[in-house]
Amino acid sequence: MKFTPFFSLYMPTLTSSFPFLLYSKQPPWLICSPPQSSPITTFNNGSKRTRPFSLFSSSLLLQVSKAKTKQNIHQNFDFFFLFSGRNHFANRWWSKETVAIVTGGNKGIGFSLVKRLAESGLTVILTARDVERGYKAIEQLRNEHGDGDDLHLHFYRLDVSDPASIKTFVSLFEKDFGVLDILVNNAAVSFNEIHENSVEHAETVVKTNFYGPKLLIEALLPMFRQSTSACSRILNITSRLGSINKMRNPKMKEMLLSENLSEEQIEGMVNLFIENVKKGTWKSQGWPEIWTDYAVSKLALNAYSRVLATRYKDCGLRVNCFCPGFTQTSMTRGKGTHTATDAAEVGARLALLPPHQLPTGKFYIGFSPGIVSKL
């Protein structure tokens, strides 16, 4: 689905409401000109790529294709623009007593997220499957910081694909800390090369990328801090490959778009996919065409995030998703349009949004070469 004509149609309406929203001369790249004296941050496709901190945020439910009127645009589009520089952290609501967990924190985006959050002054729990790599990551972070004693870092072993490991981790965390403010579900796997689409490891991918975060969230729910001055938050690192518009099965798409979507329906979808894989019929059943097992796992995680956001919207818990885009990590074999550090900078800013600016049930897409459809 292409969105340039759609936005061209409503651009006068959008720019009148959001005067800093413009198109570049090379559409559909998005240029955001911050108000007042903030430095301009741009998305561009030239060789001298700027560090892009602008984001397109969308409801986890609404489809762009369903926005028929200008009124729908105003009611259903939320734009959050995060600008470069450290000014974003001037409105500091957290302290060293604020506790954050980052899964898969020993490398890539997870490692950079841990670094950014720890440098911001939070207490950060770095988790990893491999104990040796986990401790090495902690050591590296302390060495890079200079005065490592200033960082409030802790390592715990956690394999999100293993329910027993989740149970052990949560038990230890509850004993040592007891309360949680931020959970970043970053740990994920894919066994495909960039241009491959094998489903040989589909069960492992789904178990790690969907059931792992789901079981961890459920186990940690009682520990999220109840506060009148700050909202607890869950940020699920996900992918636009798991957008609803990637699903080609009309009945499944209709189910996912339902306002009454349930956990049981999401798990039923995942079970059906695994069944199709085992029968060898998955290619003809309308599942996403790119990195199918990974896409289905992220589709399920996105859908579950929306269910959680609705369920806990009045309970002081905010649940959002963030797609960092094509990032240079081990999953992409080092290929990508930006570094893990760049992606983590955006992720950290989302995780640390001030309570009065923190929404719930949103899907943020950063480093994107255009406007991407909502889930």
pLDDT confidence tier of residue 365, bands split at 50, 70 and 90? confident
> Do 293 and 207 belong together in one domain?
yes
Structural domains of the chain, count: 2
pLDDT at 54 over 60: no
Residue 34 pLDDT grade (very low, low, confident, very high; cuts 50, 70, 90): very low
Mean of all residue pLDDT scores within the chain = 79
CA-CA distance, 240 to 222, in Å (whole number)? 30
Which of 6-15, 65-74, 141-150, 329-338 has the least mean pLDDT? 6-15
> Which whole number is the average pLDDT over 228-248?
91
Domain boundary among the residues 44, 78, 112 is at 78
Which of the residue ranges 45-49, 96-100, 300-304 would you say has the lowest mean pLDDT?
Answer: 45-49
- Is 299 or 6 the better-scoring residue by pLDDT? 299
* Minimum mean pLDDT range among 76-90, 121-135, 147-161: 76-90
Residue 166: name the closest of 222, 206, 236, 218 by CA. Answer: 218
Q: Do 98 and 216 reside in the same domain of the chain?
A: yes
**71, 108: one domain:** no
Higher pLDDT, 164 or 63: 164
Assigned token pair, 228: 């009148």
Query: CA distances (Å), 306 to each of 189, 218, 324, in order?
Result: 22, 15, 18
Residues 216 and 239 in one domain: yes
Q: Which residues contact 104 (CB under 8 A, 6 or more apart)?
A: 110, 127, 128, 160, 186, 187, 188
pLDDT digits (tens, 9 = 90+) for 102-121: 999 999 999 999 999 999 99
**Residue 356 covered by a domain:** yes
Would you say residue 372 lies in a domain? Answer: no
C-alpha distances (whole Å) from 145 to each of 116, 139, 165, 322 are 11, 10, 30, 27
Most confident of 25-34, 38-47, 257-266: 257-266
Percentage of the chain modeled with pLDDT above 90 = 63
More confident residue, 298 or 240: 298
Asked if pLDDT for residue 35 goes beyond 60, the answer is no
Please check whether residues 48 and 179 belong to one and the same domain: no
Q: Is the residue at 284 inside a domain? A: yes
Question: In the predicted model, what is the mean pLDDT of residues 369-375?
Answer: 38
Whether 19 shows a pLDDT value over 80: the answer reads no
Identify whether residues 267 and 346 lie together within a single domain: yes
Is 217 domain-assigned?
yes
- The reply to whether 318 falls in a domain is yes
Greater confidence (41 vs 351) lies with: 351
| 340: confidence class by pLDDT, cuts 50, 70, 90 | confident
Distance between CA atoms of 3 and 373, rounded to whole angstroms? 8
Residue 340 or residue 124, greater confidence: 124
One domain for residues 45 and 68: yes
Domain hosting residue 74, numbered range: 4-78
Model confidence band, residue 226 (pLDDT cutoffs 50, 70, 90): confident
In a domain, 298, yes or no: yes
Average pLDDT, integer, range 30-43: 29
- The residues that are catalytic are 294
Tell me whether residue 375 is in a domain.
Answer: no
Ordered DSSP codes for 94-160: --TT-EEEESSTTSHHHHHHHHHHHHTT-EEEEEES-HHHHHHHHHHHHHHHSSGGGSEEEEEE--T
Q: State which of 56, 78, 100 marks the end of a domain.
A: 78
In a domain, 319, yes or no: yes
Are 39 and 85 contacting, i.e. CB atoms less than 8 angstroms apart?
yes
Say whether both 118 and 224 belong to one domain: yes
Q: Are residues 35 and 128 in the same domain?
A: no
The residue from 28, 51, 78 where one domain ends is 78
pLDDT at 221 over 50: yes
pLDDT for res 367: 58
> What pLDDT score does 197 carry?
95
The pLDDT of residue 132 is 98
| DSSP-based three-state secondary structure for 265 | helix
pLDDT in tens, 154-184: 999 999 999 999 999 999 999 999 999 999 9
pTM of the model: 0.79
Same domain for 40 and 120?
no
223 and 268 in a common domain? yes
* Pairing outcome for strands 41-42 and 362-366: unpaired
**Cα(124)–Cα(177) distance, integer angstroms:** 11
Phi-psi region of 280 (alpha: psi -120 to 50; beta: other; left: phi over 0): left
Are 148 and 266 within one domain?
A: yes
**What is the DSSP secondary structure assignment for residue 54, as one 8-state letter?**
B
